[in-house]
Amino acid sequence: MAREIKFSLLYRDMWQSSGKYVPKVSMLKEIAPVIIDMGCFDRVESNGGAFEQVNLLFGENPNKAVREWTAPFNKVGIQTHMLERGLNALRMFPVPDDVRALMAKVKKAQGTNIMRSFCGLNDHRNLKGSVIHAKEAGMIAQAALSITYSPIHTVEYYMGVVDKVVEYGADEICLKDMAGIGRPAFLGRLVKAIKDKHPNIKVQYHGHSGPGFSVASMLEVARAGADYIDVAMEPLSWGKIHPDVITIQAMLKDAGFLVKDINMNAYMEARALTQKFIDEFLGYWIAPGNYQMSSLLVGCGLPGGMMGSMMADLKGFQGAINSSLRNQGKKELSINDLVVMLFQEVEYVWPRLGYPPLVTPFSQYVKNTALMNLMHMLKGEPRWKTIDKDTMNMILGKMGKLPGELAPEIKEIVKQKGLEFYTGVPQDAFPNDLPRYIKMMEEEGWDRGQDDEELFEFAMHETQYRDYKSGIAKQRFEKELEANRAKAGAPIIITRPVVEVPAFDVEKIMAKYPDAKPVHATVKGEVIWQYDVEDKSSAPVEGSDVKMGQTLCNIQAFYGMEEIICPADGKLVAVCAKQGQKVVKDEIIAFVQ
């Protein structure tokens, strides 16, 4: 009898693997019903990772976003899952245990069914709290293995982690192949080993497409017994992200598995909506290289999601490096030269730092160290001259046990600095801290929120939460968006104060202004602003006299901007659409005389 393989849509990860931001809650609410109509998904990754932080950076409430985004999926029985980083929870540095426990309770109350937890070092001690807190909150506890490829990351190594998290009570195991460098045959052997020893444990595979192994890997894990496969969909599939559900569904169906059909009308609608979100503002933060696969990633093992920030780092260092090379009478280096050199340095640095899996935040630590080494060496200085505080804490074991041995030169640096290695349980070094945040919220006069969700956000992301509450975050975001749009040469969207327009009556308008002519919407879209120059005192823009070519309204289309302009010298006498109202092609939105 054919075995069923189920799909999970990585909609959150699609965005955060490709750019800086995710869709706002209004966008998510718009696309959720369409994702449901596709009919092929049993799960959707709805939040976690940097999702909460990104919403705060928008200047919007992340709790509102999670509740409204998960609700439609919960209603139809599609499970939602979140991603969290074990000791680091939803941020890049360690989190007290009482805040981690509150996170699980809050996310369950908000509609999240599954908590996917990973430790970037595969230290099972960091996953213990995640499993326990998820179970206590009534969630499915899914422990993730951070997959990488090295001499020490064997099936036996990973099974050592699996056995411990199952002992703690994990319901499921995820193979988190964040860089997509897990070799297909190896991944198949690992899934089989898990299923042979723990047959009741569900296995889910998550693999990015960057180096090109992902399709073969998905077939191998399916044949070995995996239950769920993470997929993406256009226009944010392939490249450095995930394979598209259409390809994986067709492949598995041909291989004899039971897979659900895809409603292609809904797929195309979801595809168009996603493109709309990209065009409206999200695309201004997506690095073009993230749409491309690269075999160069096979050697260095870096996750594709880092490529945007890495390229920005290299461009920032390029000037200083080339200035130093010129002073030395040496040839300057192009960005491509630096990329290859950095990848090679990562390959050198990684084993000497104990083979930490290259996943957040440890991929950043390894990359940063390699970048500083590269800069120093090109200046004629020695390696390891600069090691940042976070990387040193990783070296010292404060975030967990490194999978491999540190190189002798690294141990010598620790000795020279007079530092000591930490061998205790990482969580013990970060005592409970919720009472302090409760007191601060009381002092600020802030409400703790439904199910203590506002307290959780404040304790998890204090700086970003304060910026959100003050309004600074929204101002900063809008300024950044305006700058990015201008840099891209995009039309500037100016949102003006709403102008109240009298009730629109065509017969009265024509009777009062017999020479008035109608102006029609040329595209489907949304009115951004408009003004009535008959009452100049209410016009929210300077120079409100309508002259030949004067803009009456800007219509935000699905792909760019269309302008409604006066066809001749005249004045605007009436508008039948208010700011923000949806309009359709050929709908009359104004009369001019």
Asked if residues 308 and 289 have their Cβ atoms less than 8 Å apart, the reply is yes
CA-to-CA distance for 70 and 73, rounded, in angstroms?
6
Same domain, 49 and 98: yes
15: pLDDT confidence band, cut at 50, 70 and 90? confident
Question: How far apart (Å, rounded) are the C-alpha atoms in residues 144 and 562?
Answer: 47
Strand duo 6-9 + 228-231: pairing: parallel
Alpha helices, H only, 362-461: 362-378, 389-396, 408-416, 434-444, 453-460
Same domain, 62 and 157: yes
Q: Which residue has the higher pLDDT, 170 or 371?
A: 170
| Number of domains composing the chain | 3
Please provide the DSSP assignment of 516-574 as one string.
-EEEE--SSEEEEEE--TTSGGG-SSSS----TT-EEEEEEETTEEEEEE-SSS--EEE
Q: CA–CA separation, 142 vs 104, rounded Å?
A: 13
CATH of residue 28's domain is: 3.20.20.70
State the pLDDT at residue 379. Answer: 86
Q: Which two tokens stand for residue 314?
A: 């290299």
> Is 315 within a domain?
yes
Higher pLDDT, 361 or 250: 250
Same structural domain for residues 270 and 339?
no
Asked whether residue 453 is assigned to any structural domain, the reply reads no
Dump pLDDT digits (tens) for 44-61: 999 999 999 999 999 999
Residues 305 and 418 in one domain: yes
* Residues 145 and 381 sit within 8 Å (Cβ to Cβ): no
pLDDT value at residue 544: 39
> In this structure, are 212 and 321 located in the same domain?
no
- Characterize the bridge pairing of strands 228-231 and 517-520: unpaired
Domain that holds residue 71: 6-291
The CA distance from 451 to 66, in Å, is: 13
Q: What is the pLDDT, as a whole number, of residue 548?
A: 47
Domain end: 398, 428, 458, which one?
A: 428
* In a shared domain, residues 264 and 359: no
Q: What is the pLDDT of residues 464-519, one digit of tens each?
A: 999 999 999 999 998 899 888 888 887 655 444 455 555 677 778 778 888 777 77
Q: Beta-carbon neighbour count of residue 261 at 10 Å?
A: 10
Q: Is residue 494 part of a domain?
A: no
Gyration radius (Cα) of the chain, Å: 27
CA distance 100 to 475: 30
Is the Cβ–Cβ distance between 146 and 117 less than 8 Å?
no
Please tell me whether residues 85 and 230 are part of one structural domain.
yes
Residue type for position 361: P
Domain boundary residue, one of 409, 428, 447: 428
Question: Does an H or E element contain 339, and which?
Answer: helix 335-352
* Residue 590 CA, distance from chain mean position: 41
Give yes or no: residues 127 and 192 share one domain: yes
Residue 392 has pLDDT above 90, yes or no: yes
Is-contact 135 376, C-beta < 8 A? no
E-only strand ranges, 232-279: none
Helices of type H across 447-568: 453-460, 462-470, 472-487, 506-512
How many Å apart are CA 185 and CA 19, to the nearest integer? 31
Tokens representing 391 are 């990387």
Q: What is the pLDDT of residue 538?
A: 37
The pLDDT of residue 350 is above 80: yes
Tokens 């040193």 correspond to 392
The percent of residues in the chain predicted with pLDDT above 70, rounded, is 87
| Burial status of residue 377 (CB atoms within 10 A of its CB: 0-12, 13-18, 19 or more) | middle
Q: Are residues 278 and 422 in the same domain?
A: no
For tokens 């981690």, what's the residue? 100
Q: Between helices 25-38 and 264-280, what is the axis angle to 10°? A: 160
The Cα 205–Cα 191 span in angstroms is 9
Residue 489 lies in a domain: no
Q: With cut-offs at 50, 70 and 90, classify the pLDDT of residue 523.
A: low
pLDDT digits (tens, 9 = 90+) for 439-455: 999 999 999 999 999 99
* DSSP 8-state symbol, 206: E
Clarify whether residues 253 and 333 are in a common domain. Answer: no
Task: Evaluate whether residue 439 is within a structural domain.
Answer: no
402 and 382 in a common domain: yes
- Predicted structure pTM score: 0.81
**pLDDT (mean) for 211-232:** 98
Q: What is the pLDDT of residue 92?
A: 87
Q: Are 240 and 325 in the same domain?
A: no
Residues 60-81 have pLDDT tens digits of 999 999 999 999 999 999 999 9
Backbone angles phi, psi at 565, to 5 degrees: -125, 160
Residue that terminates a domain, selected from 395, 428, 461? 428
SS3 state at 469: helix
- DSSP E strands in 38-179: the ranges are 41-48, 79-84, 114-118, 140-146, 172-177
Token pair 């296995």 is found at 203
Q: Percent of the chain, pLDDT > 90?
A: 64
pLDDT at 511: 82
